[in-house]
Structure 1
Amino acid sequence: MRPHVPPVPADTLLAVVKSWRTVEPLEYYRRFLKENCRPDGRELGEFRTTTVNIGSISTADGSALVKQGNTTVICGIKAEFAAPPLDAPDRGYVVPNVDLPPLCSSRFRTGPPGEEAQVTSQFIADVLEK
């Protein structure tokens, strides 16, 4: 006969699960993979609901707001004509600029672009160049 175990309050259970995910992340995710599901209950091949709203920023030449689950990404494009470089008069160029304001995450601060924004901008420039 099993001993009586009192029910655990939901907030306590949630705190235990969050701690487990932090302390043992590999084992935490392995358990879900073993059951062919994700921590949020979706099956492995199931996608989050995605919505796209084009033209979200009225001051941009092009923009889109994309929502996927609890994640929101907004992208604005500003374009202007400029003379091509003297060493490549038949080519145009693109200068990507990634801005990650505090609205994105508490990790980001106001002011000049941080390292992550600069690295991402350079990565995009490298991809476009190749």
Structure 2
Amino acid sequence: MAAANGSSDLYSEMEVDAFRRLFPLRYHEQHLLKSVRPDARKLGSARDTTLALGAVASTEGSALAKIGSTTMLAAIKMEIMTPTVECPDEGSIAIEFHMPPICSPLVRPGRPAEAASVISKQLSDTILSSGMIDLKELCLVGGKAAWMAYLKKEKFVP
């Protein structure tokens, strides 16, 4: 009898998943009408969150954040570079955003997701335009040496 219930539960789960994929708007509307999210949380409830600093020992700084079933890893690596001729008194930042195939059905194995380069550029533009990082403060010796900060961010969604 337990086996029958187990297969019945699996069948129901498959039906719900098929409905969610075929009719995503109706699927979410049904949950909104009940004031509950698809994962059974109330609309005002936050997902469980954890943060671990120093998750990657080989970097100058890193953090592993988990919000519900989403996991993000961010790390920074510093390197000394020769400043460009155009900006001899500034350092530089390079941002890489990585989306593995587990992240989305749109991401295919073997090549970077198209959205990843767009997100990398948006992050870089946002950080630089916000004034969070002053590239002049990354200069060590004008025209000779400056910091290059490599920021890497990965997103995982099981």
TM bucket (normalised to shorter chain) is 0.7 to 0.9
Task: Give the number of aligned pairs.
Answer: 123
State the alpha-carbon separation in 2 of the partners of residues 109 and 64 from structure 1.
25
Greater RCO structure (CA 8 Å; 6+ sep): 2
Deviation at 1:62, TM superposition (A): 0.7
Post-superposition, which runs of at least 4 consecutive aligned residues in structure 1 deviate over 4 A? Answer: 101-106
SS of corresponding position for 1:32: helix
- Quote the offset at 1:95 in angstroms: 1.4
Identical counterparts, % of pairs: 33
- Does 1:27 pair with 2:26? yes
Q: Decide which moves more: 32-41 or 120-129.
A: 120-129
TM-score normalised according to structure 1 size:
0.78
Instruction: Name the structure where helix makes up a greater proportion of residues.
Output: 2
Distance 1:128 1:120 in 2: 12
- One-letter code of the match for 2:23? E
Q: After the TM superposition, which residues 19-98 of structure 1 pair with which residues of structure 2 at under 5 Å, given as runs?
A: 19-98=18-97
TM-score, normalized by length of structure 2? 0.66
Q: Match for residue 123 of structure 2?
A: 124
Aligned partner of 1:3 in structure 2 is none
Cα offset, 1:23, TM superposition = 1.1
The structure that is strand-richer by fraction is 2
Root-mean-square deviation (CA, aligned residues, Å) is 2.5
Cα distance change of structure 1 residues 18 and 104 upon mapping to structure 2, 3 Å threshold = closer
Q: Give unpaired runs (5+ residues) of structure 1.
A: 1-6
